[in-house]
Copies of this chain bind each other. A is one copy, B any other.
Amino acid sequence: MGNIFGKIFRVASFGESHGPAVGCVVDGCPSGVELSESDIQKELDRRRPGQSAISTQRREADLCKILSGVYEGKTLGTPICVLVENLDQHSFDYSEIAKLWRPSHADFTYDAKYGRRDPRGGGRSSARETVGRVAAGAIAKKILGPSVTIRAWVESVHSIAMPLLREMPSLEDIESNAARCPHAATAEKIIEFIKKTKAEGDSVGGVVRCRMEGLPAGLGDPVFDRFEAALAKAMLSLPATKGFDIGSGFAATRSYGSQNNDIFYIDSGAKVRTKTNRAGGVLGGITSGEAVDFRVAFKPVATIAKEQSTISTELKETKVIGRGRHDPCVVPRAVPIVEAMAAIVAADAMLMQRAARI
């Protein structure tokens, strides 16, 4: 259970890290959406490891195939299956890992839940599972169309944070560096910091910020399916995430209503706007038409190249040291994944909204 997301635009994800393939089936994509494998591939390429000195050296082409739901370049309204074969799956002996529970990994909890697990590369708990999400997110972006822009970036790694940005950074600025931080000076520091952390055999966390512009007012279904609740679920469903906040977020807890409220006004185009956007684009669970603006906290990845104590599946004390190819910091690579989940939430809300009025 738990591998299907969404209400109308529904994404079923599948695949283990070192099984034959990973991918997704998207049910509920409207017909008539122009869609090609290259639309999906370009997002997968952003997610792909091995692209820079600061990410894992696992090298996979991650070539996607659309197996259904598209005909003559457009969606049919039927399920879209996207498949990515795992080519790099036989490079490592997992027999040792199969017999112990790595600290802060899901080995123990998968065993507790299911009584068994696939130890190869983390199996289903691997970040490789996000391939299906990114593919589905690429389809969601096509539904949203060019009037909606969803863009994520790295706001901080460890205590290195870029200056607060009120405007949307350009995609070029974000993608210009391996840190995916649009502030060049901060990016440089982050890259150095990650390299140093890697050299020390350690890992480090950070914050991804995401901004969605162009969404109409009215999206999101109160009470339980508030737009921000759906976003929070989507983000906390990502591997290694520990927090989510929107608009003024946790900082709002330290402010007064008179400071935190956003004042409505009519802009020059006769559109209802707010002078500030401390709400982060949602009021009462419904989008206001202002930019949806949120942050996601990523912990340091659990795998480190330092020896750690742990216990074996036979309940003996043992030691483990991270091997294989791992990111010292997943935060830059999380950027397209955060965007993908945000796009899925928005596309689903957009389709749901069509049923809101008679």
Contact = CB atoms under 8 A, between A and B. Distances in A.
B68 A284 contact: no
Q: Which 4 A-B pairs have the closest CB atoms?
A: A106-B284, A2-B221, A243-B245, A2-B225
* Identical chains bound together, number: 4
A260 interface: yes
Given A229-B232, A245-B245, 6 more contacts: A14-B80, A108-B288, A202-B257, A223-B237, A263-B308, A263-B310
Contacts of A113: 31, 77, 217-220, 286, 353, 356
Contacts of A48: none
A143 interface: yes
Given A243-B250, A306-B258, A14 B67 contact: yes
Contact of A283 (B109, B129, B250, B356): B109
A40 interface: no
A124 B223 contact: yes
20 contacts: A1-B352, A3-B25, A12-B27, A12-B79, A14-B25, A23-B67, A74-B116, A104-B279, A108-B288, A109-B288, A115-B357, A203-B256, A205-B255, A231-B236, A232-B233, A232-B244, A233-B233, A255-B299, A257-B301, A351-B355
A58 interface: no
A68 B263 contact: no
Interface in A271-307: 272, 274, 278-280, 282-289, 297-304, 306
Contacts of A106: 222, 283-286
Given A2-B226, A249-B242, A30 B358 contact: yes
Contact of A236 (B68, B229, B298): B229
A297 B257 contact: no
Contact of A67 (B15, B203, B256, B289): B15
A302 B257 contact: yes
Contact of A265 (B223, B255, B311): B311
B20 A222 contact: no
B19 A67 contact: yes
Nearest to A145: B358
A186 interface: no
A311 B272 CA distance: 8
